[in-house]
């Protein structure tokens, strides 16, 4: 049995940078080019060379999932992304039930693109909805019209995509509880089988962080953000979407298997500038700038910027930090006695499920999910 290796393919281009985003993405203006076609020219050729490098490093492997993220993968020609899928197919063995996901922007995705990607083997769409409320989208610097989400999801279904997910963000400046309820309701009206909902995190160096520091906008109180999580969780569960990870809910069969590979400690190769990889207890990440990445690849050099070897203690801590976020929880046998003892306090406080605890497993309750980070900090000390 060959090893399993998932692939993340980074597409580092966006037409416009969103105010809250600190991802490794670039606009044509930032890359001093007139348009996306010119700045992305030959990028996929470099990606193919890194996939060849992956084969030389890993050897034979079965690929259970491929995820095109960014940036905005749907800005690239479908034929270019199809080349990537074909290269992985030529160099590795694809699982019979492989999951191939493409992130898309509701404003920039066409039926032609979706049909061509479906023909190339893609079977899952992840769409950046973020909010259904225009003034919230404006604060987030999102370019799309809320109505375009429904149109884009319909296109994905028409193109034959089996799985469609939307991403929501809650806790933006100026977003009321009723605004959030409107976004949740709108998402649940779509023909989708997966929803991700993330609390907005203000990252240093972003446009939104600067606006907040200048007092132009204010973040809502933490209590309100927690209330929004509870509203979403209750509504999603009532609509048949079960939580399977802290920020993710799905209908039966709709879980994102690529993300599960990250959370359960499986191996993956991140292709592209700034992409991270994990293989045989080694983690590494590539140089961040697309031009530098392409220069190194084309010169036959490794694009790796830095790496770390994870110790047994590192792996144990990461297992706890990631696995506690999942509905399956953590068996007591995978924890130290001292960690089980400390965790018992959270059973008494209602943050860990009593029935699961009796069954020798640590599983967060709905209230426990609100303080997951605090519980992790307590247990890894």
Model pLDDT for residues 353-371, shown as the tens digit of each residue: 999 999 999 999 999 999 9
Q: What is the mean pLDDT of residues 238-264?
A: 97
Residue 1 pLDDT > 60: no
* Alpha carbon distance 324, 321 (integer Å): 6
Alpha helices in the chain (DSSP H): 36-39, 43-58, 78-91, 111-119, 134-139, 147-158, 177-188, 207-213, 222-238, 257-263, 290-298, 312-323, 337-348, 354-358, 366-370, 372-380
CA–CA dist 169, 276 (Å, integer): 24
State residue 218's pLDDT score.
80
Q: Is the pTM of this model over 0.85?
A: yes
Q: How far apart are CA 365 and CA 3, in angstroms?
A: 35
Angle at 240 between CA 8 and CA 372, to 5 degrees: 60
pLDDT digits (tens, 9 = 90+) for 311-331: 999 999 999 999 999 999 999
Residue in the block written with tokens 């009321």: 176
**Structure-token pair, residue 139:** 């604060």
pLDDT of residue 2: 73
The residue with greater pLDDT, 16 or 45, is 45
Position 297 scores a pLDDT of 97
Angle between helix 43-58 and helix 290-298 axes, rounded to 10 deg: 60
pLDDT (0 to 100) of residue 169: 96
Rounded to an integer, the average pLDDT of 220-225 is 91
The dihedral region occupied by 200, where left means phi > 0, alpha psi between -120 and 50, and beta the remainder, is beta
pLDDT of residue 205: 77
Residue with tokens 């973040």: 219
C-alpha to C-alpha distances, 150 to 70, 115, 369, nearest whole angstrom: 22, 17, 30
Region 156-163: what's the mean pLDDT?
97
Q: Which position has the token pair 């699961």?
A: 356
Q: Residue 34: what pLDDT? A: 85
pLDDT of residue 80: 95
pLDDT at 210 over 90: no
Separate counts of helices (H) and strands (E) for the chain: 16, 15
- What single-letter DSSP state applies at residue 254? -
Q: Predicted confidence band at 18 (pLDDT cuts at 50, 70, 90)?
A: confident
Q: What residues form DSSP beta bridges with 3?
A: 61
Q: Which residues of 18-30 are buried (b: 16+ CB within 10 A; e: fewer)?
A: bbbbebbbbebee
Q: Is the pLDDT of residue 148 over 60?
A: yes
Statement: residue 21 has pLDDT above 90: no
pLDDT attached to residue 269? 98
| pLDDT exceeds 90 at position 306 | yes
Question: By three-state DSSP, how is residue 4 classified?
Answer: strand
60 dihedral zone (left: phi>0; alpha: psi -120 to 50; beta) = beta
pLDDT at 281: 94
- Please say whether the beta carbons of 168 and 232 come within 8 A: yes
User: Is the model's pLDDT at 23 over the cut of 80?
Assistant: no
User: Which pairs with CB-CB distance under 8 Å and at least 24 residues apart come from 214-219?
Assistant: 217/139, 217/173, 217/174, 218/173, 219/171, 219/173
Q: Distance between the two ends of the chain, CA-based, in angstroms?
A: 38
User: Closest Cα partner for 158 from 109, 114, 98?
Assistant: 114
CA dist 132 and 136 (Å) reads 8
Cα-based angle 166, 172, 174 (whole degrees, multiple of 5): 130
The confidence score (pLDDT) of residue 191 equals 98
Averaged pLDDT of the chain: 94
Q: What confidence tens digit (pLDDT) does each residue in 258-297 have?
A: 999 999 999 999 999 999 999 999 999 999 999 999 999 9
CATH superfamily label, 3-263: Aldolase class I (3.20.20.70)
In this structure, what are the phi and psi dihedrals at residue 242, rounded to the nearest 5 degrees? Answer: -95, 135
- Among candidates 320, 315, 256, which has minimal Cα distance to 280? 315
Q: Token pair of 15, please? A: 């037409």
Report yes or no: 11 and 272 within 8 Å, Cβ to Cβ: yes
pLDDT bin (cut points 50, 70, 90) of residue 65 is: very high
Pair of tokens at residue 131: 């909010």
Mean pLDDT of 250-259: 98
> What residues does CATH 3.20.20.70 cover in the chain?
3-263
Q: Output phi, psi for 67, to 5 deg.
A: -130, 120
Residues 6+ apart with CB under 8 A from 201: none
Q: pLDDT-derived band of residue 86, with 50, 70 and 90 as boundaries?
A: very high
- Give the residue, 304 or 107, on which the prediction is more confident: 304
Report the pLDDT value the prediction gives residue 98, as an integer from 0 to 100. 98
User: What confidence tens digit (pLDDT) does each residue in 101-147 have?
Assistant: 999 999 889 999 999 999 999 999 999 999 999 999 998 888 678 89
């Amino acid at each position: 049995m060959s090893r399993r290796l998932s692939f993340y393919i980074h597409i580092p281009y966006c037409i416009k940078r969103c105010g809250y985003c600190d991802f490794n993405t670039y606009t044509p203006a930032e890359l001093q080019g007139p348009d996306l076609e010119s700045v992305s020219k030959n990028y996929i050729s470099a990606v193919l060379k890194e996939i060849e490098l992956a084969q030389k490093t890993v050897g034979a492997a079965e690929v259970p999932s491929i995820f095109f993220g960014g940036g905005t993968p749907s800005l690239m020609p479908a034929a270019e992304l199809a080349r990537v899928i074909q290269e992985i197919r030529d160099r590795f063995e694809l699982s019979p039930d492989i999951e191939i996901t493409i992130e898309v922007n509701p404003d920039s995705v066409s039926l032609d693109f979706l049909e061509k990607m479906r023909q190339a083997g893609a079977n899952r769409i992840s769409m950046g909805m973020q909010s259904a409320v225009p003034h919230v989208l404006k604060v987030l610097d999102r370019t799309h019209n809320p109505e375009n989400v429904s149109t884009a999801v319909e296109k994905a279904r028409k193109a034959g995509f089996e799985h469609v997910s939307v991403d929501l963000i809650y806790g933006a400046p100026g977003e009321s509880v009723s605004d959030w309820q409107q976004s949740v309701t709108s998402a649940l009206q779509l023909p989708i089988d997966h929803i991700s909902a993330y609390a907005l995190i203000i990252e240093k160096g972003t446009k939104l962080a600067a606006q907040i520091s200048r007092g132009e906008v204010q973040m809502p109180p933490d209590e309100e953000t927690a209330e929004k999580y509870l509203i979403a969780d209750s509504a999603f569960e009532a609509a048949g979407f079960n939580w399977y990870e802290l920020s993710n809910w799905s209908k039966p069969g709709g879980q994102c298997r690529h993300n599960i590979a990250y959370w359960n400690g499986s191996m993956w190769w991140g292709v592209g500038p700034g992409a991270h990889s994990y293989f045989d207890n080694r983690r590494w990440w590539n140089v961040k700038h697309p031009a530098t990445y392409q220069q190194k690849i084309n010169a036959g050099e490794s694009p790796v910027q830095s790496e770390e070897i994870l110790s047994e203690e590192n792996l144990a801590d990461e297992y706890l930090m990631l696995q506690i976020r999942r509905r399956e929880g953590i068996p007591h046998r995978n924890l130290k006695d001292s960690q089980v003892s400390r965790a018992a306090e959270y059973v008494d406080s209602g943050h860990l499920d009593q029935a699961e605890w009796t069954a020798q497993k640590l599983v967060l309750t709905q209230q426990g999910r609100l303080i997951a980070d605090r519980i992790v900090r307590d247990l890894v000390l």
